[in-house]
Structure 1
Amino acid sequence: MTRQRDNRVMLITYADSLGADLKELKTALDTWYDKAVGGVHILPFFPSGADRGFSPKTYESVDPVFGSFADVEAIGKDRWLMFDFMVNHISAQSAYYQDFLARKDESDWKDFFIRYSKFWPGGAPTPEQVEAIYKRKPRAPYIEARFADGTEDKVWCTFSEDQIDLDVSSPAVRAFIDRTLDGMADHGASVIRLDAFAYAVKKPGGSCFFEAPEIWELLEGIESRMAARGVEILPEIHEHYTIPLSLARRGYWIYDFALPVLTLHALYTGNGTWLANWLKMSPKHQYTTLDTHDGLGIVDVRDLLPQEETDRVLDLLYEKGANLNRKYSSEEYGNLDIYQVNTTYYSALGNDDARYLMARAIQFFAPGIPQVYYVGLLAGENDLELLEKTRNGRDINRHGYSLKEIEENQKRPVVQNLKVLMELRNTHPAFDLEGDLDVTAADGHLCMIRRAGQEALMLDCDFDGGTFVIEDLKRGERLWPLK
C-alpha cells in the first residue's frame, strides 16, 4: 500500500550506505532518526550493470545484496518512499539488450533501442545534427552494437557504455514504462523520481534534450497514470533554472538544485542578496537539496549568480573547503560533467560545525520539502581514501557507514544539533507547505520568516559572525541557540 507523501524531511541514501543493507538501514532509522526522518529516497536498489545502481538490468527484483522488496516495504510502513526510474536508459547487461544483440530483428525487444541506421534520415547524422545534440560526450552519443549474425549498428547511448537509451516513442517501451511504474506503486513508492528525464526524447536535428512538445506528452502520460495510484512524480533535471520553473508552472514538483551553490556563496562572501532573490522566486512544491549522490551543480546557478560571482564562489570553494582539490572534479577522477564539483557539503564549508548548521537552517526555512543526503546527515568529511581507491570523483561523498560508525557519530554535537533542526522542521506548524516566506538580505544578514496562518518562525543568519537565531514570533520564544 502506498503511503501518502507528507511534509517531513526526506533522507537520500543508498541501500547499503547507512548500514550494510536495507534491514540495517531500517535499524538505523528506527534507532536514531525516528522523529527526524519522515521520508526516504532509496537510491536505485535494483540489479544494475553500472553507475551505482543507475544502470538497471531489471526493475522486477531488488539486488539480493541489499535484500528484498519486503525489506523496502518495511521501511515504507513508517516513512514515505521515493524510488528512481531511469526512464532514459537500461543496462547493456539487461535481458532486453542481450536478446536484441542475439536475435536482432527477431528479438521481442528490437523496438526498445534507437538504431542510428533507422533513426537518422540517410542512416547517419550530419555534422550539423551532431553539433545540435546536447551531449555528454565529445562525439555523437552511440555505442557500436555487434549482433550475433556478424552485423553492426550504432545504438544511441547518452551516458556510459552500459546505459543504453530507450526509444520512448516506441509502443513497446511505453508498455515497459507503464509496467515499471505500476510495479513501483505496488511496492510502496509515494514518489517516483524520473532520472535523466530531459534526455528521453530524441528528434533528428534537435538538441535531444527537453524536446517539446513530446517531452510534455511523455510527462503528462506518466503523471496521469501515477496520479490514479496516488503516486507523485519528480522529474530530475540539472540545467538552467528556467527549465525546472517551467515544470513548476505546470503544477509539477521540481528540485531546487540552485540552493547549494547560492548558499555557499552567501556563507563565503557574507552577501545574501543573490540567495534571497532566488528564495523569493522559488516555488512551494519543490524538493530542496544541499547535497546529493552527485556533485554540486554549477550550471544550476547560471544567471542566478553573475558569472564573476560564480567564478568567485568556485575559487572560494577550493580556498575555504577542507581536503578539496580541483583535480577531484576532473577527467582524471572520472568526472565527465564539468558543471559539477565533487565534495561533501560539510567539507565545502571547511568542516565548520556552526556554518554547516546555518546552511541546513537556511535549507529548512526555504520553500518546499528538504532532502538531506546520508553523508550530510552525519556531517561527513571528504573521503579521500575511498576516492583514491576507486578513482571516481563522486565517491569523495559516498562513504559507507556501518551501524557502529553511525552510533559513534551520534556523539558529535553537530550531528545532534542537526537532528534537533530536522525535528523542528518536521513539527513546527509555521512550516506548512502552503505557507509563505518573507526574506530579506542586508548588512551581512539573511532574515527568513516562515508564516502559516497565525504561526510565524524567524531565522536570522549573521554571515560575518557565523551564528544564527531562530525565534517563534507568535509565542515570543527563542528556539535557537539551544539553551
Structure 2
Amino acid sequence: MARQRIAYRSTPDYTQPLIEVPAKVRDRLFERLSFLYGSGKAKRYLPELERLLKVHCAHKVLATTAAEPSLEPGDRFSEKDLVLITYGDLIQGQGRSPLASLAQFLQQLPKFANVINTLHILPFFPYSSDRGFSITDFHVVDPKLGSWQDITALGSQYQLMFDGVFNHVSAQSLAFQEMLNGNPLYRDVFTTYTSPGELTLEQRQMILRPRTSDILTQYHSINGPVWVWTTFSPDQIDLNYRNPHVLLGVVETLLLYVRRGANIIRLDAVTYLWDEPGTTGANLAQTHEVIKLLRDVLSVADPTVSLITETNIPHADNIAYFGDGTDEAHMVYNFALPPLVLYTFYQQDATALTNWAKTLTYPSATTTFFNILDTHDGIGLMGVKDILPAAEIQFLLQQARDQGAFISYRTSEKGQKEPYEINTTWFSALSLDSSPEDLSFQVKRYVASRSLALVLRGVPGIYLHGLMGSQNDVDTVLRTQSKRDINRQIIRQVDIIKAIADPQSKLSHLMQQLGRLLEIRVRQPAFHPNGAQRILALGPEVFAVLRISPDCTQHILTLTNVTACACRLEISLAELGITGLHPTELAPASSSDEPIICAIPDDSHWYDLVGRRGWRATQQKLAIALEPYDVVWLVPFVELEQAIESG
C-alpha cells in the first residue's frame, strides 16, 4: 500500500493562514538564484518563487497539514520498497483505459501483486515522439491512456514516481509554436540563433550528447529561419534555463505533480539541463544548482517527496548528483550496475563486479541508489566507461550482439561516434530465443542475475518486461526503425493470464522463482537501504554480500553463483566478524566504507531463506555447496528465533 500522503484541495483555500517560507530556506533559495542569475535578478524573482509555494500550500487541507507526520530522513526508503517501471499503455485490456487496465492487471499477478509498492509510470502526458519523452502538454494526462482520476486511483494503492521531463518540450507544444509565431513572451524560452554559425564549430565540438544528430535544428518562424538547440532530437526543443521564467515554470509544474500524487519525481536526463555555449553542456554547476533549488522547494512544499536523478554518465559523474548528501538528489540511478551484471554473467566471473561494489560509498544516511538492470531504453554503457577497459566493453557488446541485441550510439567528447547503450530485453540478453537449454535452467540464470540488484544497498527497480521475462521484439524495430522499441512491445492481459495458468510456461516459472525472491526480499530489514553492506571476495564464481539491518538485529549473507558450474565455498566466520557478542552491545552499522558489523551470540547454525534449508558451521567455517546459478540468502538461526520471539 502507498504511504499516506498529504491531502490537497483541487483549488487553493486562502481563508487559512498562508505558509511562510522558513528564513533558512529563503536564504538558500536566494543564494541559488543569485548563483544562476546574479543577485539583482534573484531579488526580482524570489518573491515569485515564494508566491508559487504559498499557492501550492494553500491547496493543502489544514487539518492534514497540522497532523503531517515528521519524516525520519534515514527512513525515506525502506526494505519494503520495490519499484515497477512501466509505460502507461504496456498492458492491453478490454473495456478500460490503459491506466485502469494496468491497475487491474497488477492485482492479477499472484506472486508480484503483494511485493510491488511503487509504480514508475513513464511519461503519461500527451506527446509527439520518443515514446512519451517529447511532451506537448505537461499538465494533463494523455487521453489515450486515461485521466488524472486513473492516476489518483493508482496512487491509492501504490507510491508513484512521476517523470519530470524538464530538459525540453515537443516542437508541437504551445510554447514552441508561440515562439515561432513571434510572441514576445516566448522569445527567450528556447536557445535560438538566426544563423547556425552563431554556435561555432569549436563550440559544437565541445558539447557532450547522447545522440549523433546535429545539435541545431532549423525551423521557420514569422521572422524567418531560426536554428534551435536540440540535444535529443529535432522534435525535442531544449528549454533555456538562462531565462528565470523557464525555471519558475518548471517549479510550478513540479508542484502540480506533487499535488497530483507524486511520491518521487524523476529528473529525466537532467545531465543536459543547462545549455551554455562554450562548455560541454553536461554536468554543469548550474545544473546541480537547479536540482538543489528544486530540493529546497520540496522541503517546503512536501518534504516527503523525493528527487531521483537519471544521469546515464560515467559512475564518478553520476554519484556527484548526491551533492553533499543533504542538498541534491535523494536517490541516483545506479547506471554502472546493469552492464557490470551482464558482463559478469557473460564472463561467468564476479571479480570486476566485486571490485567495483567494494568502492560504493554513500555521502549520507539520507541517500541511496536506484538499482535497476533493464530499462525502457536498454542497458546504458556510460556507467562503466571508466570501470571496464575498452577491450572488455567491446567483449560485452559482441556478446550482446550474439544474443540478438542492437547497439545505439552517441557523440563522444572528441566528436566521434561511440557506443551508448545496448538495446535488448534482459531475458534475451542472457538467453537466445532459439536456445536449446532447458527453460527452467534459463529462468534460474535469469533470476540469479536479477538477484544482484536485490542484494546491493539501495532500492530495486524492475521494468515490466523484465518482470515478465519478455524476449526481443525485432519486428517492431523493423517497423518503427527505432532500436529502443525492442523492449517496448504491448502485452495483452489475456495472454498473461493464460500463461500464468500454464505451469510449463516461462512466466509461471518466473512467478515461482523470481516471485519468491521478491517476497523474501521485502520482508528482511537487513535489506533496508540504510543497512550496512560488506562486499566479500570469496572467489570469481560467486558474488557475495553481507547485509546488516540498521538496528543490527539481522544479518544476511547473500551468495550468488554466477556460473553454469557447481562450486563449493568455505567461509571463515571469523572473517565475517559477527561472532561472540549480542547485537545490543555494539553500535548500529554506519555508512562508512567499513561498516560496524554487529555480532551475534551463536553463529553455528544458518538458514537459507531462499532454498529453505539449514547449514551448519564447524570449527568456525561454513562450507556451502552451490549448484549452477544458485541464489542463497543465509541468516543465523538464532536471529530467526529472536525475530519470532519479538513478534
After TM superposition, the score normalised by the length of structure 2 is: 0.68
Corresponding residue number in structure 1 for 2:161: 82
Q: Distance in 1 between matches of 2:540 and 2:168?
A: 49
Corresponding residue number in structure 1 for 2:34: none
CA distances 1:237-277 after superposition (whole Å, capped 9, x unpaired): 11111111222252222100111111111112122111112
Corresponding residue number in structure 2 for 1:449: 546
Corresponding residue number in structure 2 for 1:293: 376
1:131 aligns with 2:171: no
Q: Distance in 2 between matches of 1:396 and 1:74?
A: 30
Corresponding residue number in structure 2 for 1:262: 340
Q: Distance in 1 between matches of 2:373 and 2:405?
A: 19
Q: Distance in 2 between matches of 1:367 and 1:6?
A: 11
Corresponding residue number in structure 2 for 1:368: 458
Asked whether the 8 Å contact 2:210–2:420 carries over to 1, the reply is: no
Corresponding residue number in structure 2 for 1:179: 252
Instruction: State the percentage of identical aligned residues.
Output: 31
Corresponding residue number in structure 2 for 1:27: 104
How far off is 1:294 after superposition? Answer: 0.7
Asked whether the 8 Å contact 2:266–2:310 carries over to 1, the reply is: yes
CA distances 1:98-141 after superposition (whole Å, capped 9, x unpaired): 11111x1x3422221111249x9xx7022211211113455751
Q: CA RMSD in A?
A: 2.3
CA distances 1:333-365 after superposition (whole Å, capped 9, x unpaired): xxx973111110111111621111001111100
* Aligned CA distance change for structure 1 residues 259 and 24 (closer, same or farther; 3 Å): same
How far off is 1:92 after superposition? Answer: 0.7
Q: With CA pairs under 8 Å and 6+ residues apart, which has the higher RCO, 1 or 2?
A: 1
CA distances 1:200-237 after superposition (whole Å, capped 9, x unpaired): 1122211111112x112111111111232131111211
1:43 aligns with 2:117: no
How far off is 1:325 after superposition? Answer: 4.8
* Aligned CA distance change for structure 1 residues 205 and 233 (closer, same or farther; 3 Å): same
Corresponding residue number in structure 2 for 1:243: 317
Corresponding residue number in structure 2 for 1:481: none
How far off is 1:380 after superposition? Answer: 0.8
Q: Distance in 1 between matches of 2:219 and 2:354?
A: 50
Q: Which sits farther off after the overlay, 3-12 or 71-80? A: 3-12
Asked whether the 8 Å contact 1:2–1:187 carries over to 2, the reply is: no
CA distances 1:178-209 after superposition (whole Å, capped 9, x unpaired): 11101100110011111121111122211111
- AA in 2 matched with 1:457: I
Corresponding residue number in structure 1 for 2:296: 224
Asked whether the 8 Å contact 1:317–1:348 carries over to 2, the reply is: yes
CA distances 1:426-463 after superposition (whole Å, capped 9, x unpaired): 11121111101122231412212211112112221222
How far off is 1:42 after superposition? Answer: 0.2
- AA in 2 matched with 1:114: T
Q: Distance in 2 between matches of 1:141 and 1:339?
A: 17
CA distances 1:79-111 after superposition (whole Å, capped 9, x unpaired): 111111111100111111111111x1x342222
Asked whether the 8 Å contact 1:89–1:166 carries over to 2, the reply is: yes
- AA in 1 matched with 2:401: Y
After TM superposition, the score normalised by the length of structure 1 is: 0.90
Q: Distance in 2 between matches of 1:173 and 1:184?
A: 17
1:158 aligns with 2:257: no
Asked whether the 8 Å contact 2:405–2:429 carries over to 1, the reply is: no
* Aligned CA distance change for structure 1 residues 255 and 413 (closer, same or farther; 3 Å): same
What 5-or-longer segments of structure 1 have no aligned partner?
A: 479-483
Corresponding residue number in structure 2 for 1:397: 487
2:388 aligned counterpart, secondary structure: coil
Q: Distance in 2 between matches of 1:224 and 1:426?
A: 31
Corresponding residue number in structure 1 for 2:141: 62
Corresponding residue number in structure 1 for 2:589: none
1:277 aligns with 2:355: yes
Asked whether the 8 Å contact 1:111–1:172 carries over to 2, the reply is: no
1:420 aligns with 2:545: no
1:34 aligned counterpart, secondary structure: coil
2:389 equivalent among 290, 293, 306: 306
1:440 aligns with 2:526: no
- AA in 1 matched with 2:555: A
* Aligned CA distance change for structure 1 residues 249 and 468 (closer, same or farther; 3 Å): farther
Corresponding residue number in structure 1 for 2:497: 407
2:102 aligned counterpart, secondary structure: helix
Q: Distance in 2 between matches of 1:175 and 1:362?
A: 41
1:203 aligns with 2:279: no
* Aligned CA distance change for structure 1 residues 443 and 221 (closer, same or farther; 3 Å): closer
Corresponding residue number in structure 1 for 2:474: 384
How far off is 1:144 after superposition? Answer: 1.4
2:177 aligned counterpart, secondary structure: helix
1:114 aligns with 2:114: no
1:112 aligned counterpart, secondary structure: coil
Q: Distance in 2 between matches of 1:424 and 1:384?
A: 35
Asked whether the 8 Å contact 2:448–2:631 carries over to 1, the reply is: no
Asked whether the 8 Å contact 2:140–2:148 carries over to 1, the reply is: yes
Q: Distance in 2 between matches of 1:314 and 1:477?
A: 44
Corresponding residue number in structure 2 for 1:350: 431
- AA in 2 matched with 1:38: N
Asked whether the 8 Å contact 2:473–2:487 carries over to 1, the reply is: yes
Asked whether the 8 Å contact 1:295–1:341 carries over to 2, the reply is: yes
Q: Distance in 2 between matches of 1:338 and 1:262?
A: 15
1:339 aligned counterpart, secondary structure: strand
- AA in 1 matched with 2:637: R
How far off is 1:408 after superposition? Answer: 2.9
Larger-gyration structure (1/2): 2
Q: Distance in 2 between matches of 1:394 and 1:476?
A: 49
* Aligned CA distance change for structure 1 residues 247 and 325 (closer, same or farther; 3 Å): closer
Q: Distance in 2 between matches of 1:477 and 1:83?
A: 39
How far off is 1:409 after superposition? Answer: 3.6
1:303 aligned counterpart, secondary structure: coil
1:467 aligned counterpart, secondary structure: coil
- AA in 1 matched with 2:527: F
Corresponding residue number in structure 1 for 2:630: 468
Corresponding residue number in structure 1 for 2:421: 340
Q: Which sits farther off after the overlay, 291-300 or 368-377? A: 291-300
Corresponding residue number in structure 2 for 1:430: 526
Q: Distance in 1 between matches of 2:638 and 2:472?
A: 40
